[in-house]
Amino acid sequence: MTQVMAHRGSSGTRPENTLPAFSEAVRAEADGIELDVHLTKDQVLVVMHDEEVDRTTNGQGRIREMTLAEIKTLNAGSWFDKEFSAARVPTLKEVLDLLVQKNFRGFLNIEIKTDKFDYPGIEEAVSSLMMSQQWPFTHWYSSFNMKSLEKMHHLEPDTQLDYIMGTAESKVKQALERSFIEGIHPKINWIRESEASFLSFPKAVRPWTINESDDMLACFEQNLTGIITDFPEKAVRLRRGMKK
Ligand code: G3P
Ligand code: MG
């Protein structure tokens, strides 16, 4: 069965990468949750998509140039809807604690957001937090940056690693050449334009971002490993409907 992965939580219906977005993904019975991590100036792992706080908070500046205390003063929900004005930028630890509290038993896909900045030490910080206790869910890592995935492989040789890409065949080839890469996250166009060659692809394929019903159904019918969607509730419902 194709996994439904909630992209930045249920980011189509809640402010992305916030506790409400992750709670909603659990409520919607997503099989997995994807989130993005960065390191603050004082070396704390925080969950946000962009390198700057500008788009998804009422603040300005780069995460790597701000302390956690500075980031915690920001409103991370009102840009989406004033109903979410209490939402703050969560630390990775706060998200993990929420998922434990919500009895989440699915997959947590932690994306190491090192495509623009290296964030020295981020791989060690993530691994050290994830290995610090036994979590009741399975975690894995993804990144656009192969160097980060190589570091994660060194730190956690048994943890699943997925390579994120656009549609470039050179990236697909890089993934194929590395046995420690379990799967790829290609942009949806790769699926739409590949004339079904992905059906015989020897690794897991989890495209992003699958938000339209037609695309969801096509991925389910082709039995792809997973889809990464902003609308996990809609995807889970559609998948349920197909089984009837
Ligand atoms: O894993 C797929 C997806 O998260 C990649 O895109 O930019 O939303 O992190 P982005
Ligand atoms: Mg991501």
- Which atom of ligand 1 is the closest one to the Cα of 208? 2
Mean pLDDT, to the nearest integer, of 35-40? 98
pLDDT at 196: 60
pLDDT exceeds 70 at position 204: yes
Whether pLDDT at 195 is above 70: no
CA-CA-CA-CA dihedral for 119, 144, 115, 3, to nearest 10: -80
Q: In terms of pLDDT, which residue wins out, 226 or 197?
A: 226
Query: Quick one: pLDDT at residue 243?
Result: 63
Report the amino acid identity of residue 47.
V
Question: Region 111-117: what's the mean pLDDT?
Answer: 96
- Centre of ligand 1 to C-alpha 145, Å, is 12
Check whether 91 has a pLDDT greater than 60: yes
Residue 109 CA: nearest ligand 1 atom is 1
Return the ∠ at Cα 228 (arms to 220 and 176), rounded to 5°.
85
Distances (CA, A) of 103 to 15, 16, 96, 243: 21, 20, 11, 26
Angle between helices 122-130 and 146-155 (to 10 degrees): 40
- Catalytic hit among 7, 38, 153, 185: 7
Range of the domain at 222: 3-243
Residue 106 and residue 22 in contact, taking contact as beta carbons nearer than 8 Å? no
Q: Map tokens 């692809």 to a residue.
A: 201
Q: Phi-psi region for residue 2, left (φ > 0), alpha (ψ -120 to 50) or beta?
A: beta
Q: Does ligand 1 come within 6 angstroms of the Cβ of 229?
A: no
| pLDDT one-digit tens code per residue, 177-193 | 999 999 999 999 988 88
How many helices and strands in the chain, by DSSP H and E?
9, 9
Q: Is pLDDT of 198 > 90?
A: no
Can you tell me the distance from the alpha carbon of 79 to that of 85, in angstroms, rounded to the nearest whole number?
A: 8
Crossing angle between the packed helical segments 19-27 and 92-101, to the nearest 10 degrees: 30
| Distance between Cα 35 and ligand 2 center (Å) | 6
Question: Residue 134 sits in a domain of what CATH number?
Answer: 3.20.20.190
Give the chain's mean pLDDT: 96
**pLDDT, tens digit, for every residue of 53-86?**
999 999 999 999 999 999 999 999 999 999 999 9
Q: Classify residue 228 by burial, with Cβ atoms within 10 Å: 0-12, 13-18, 19+.
A: buried
Quote the pLDDT of residue 200.
Answer: 83
> Is residue 226 a contact partner of residue 216, using CB atoms and an 8 Å limit?
no
ipTM above 0.90, yes or no: yes
48, 109, 164, best to mutate for ligand 1 pocket (most atoms within 8 Å of CB): 164
Predicted local distance difference test score (pLDDT) of residue 167: 87
Per the structure, how many domains does the chain have?
1
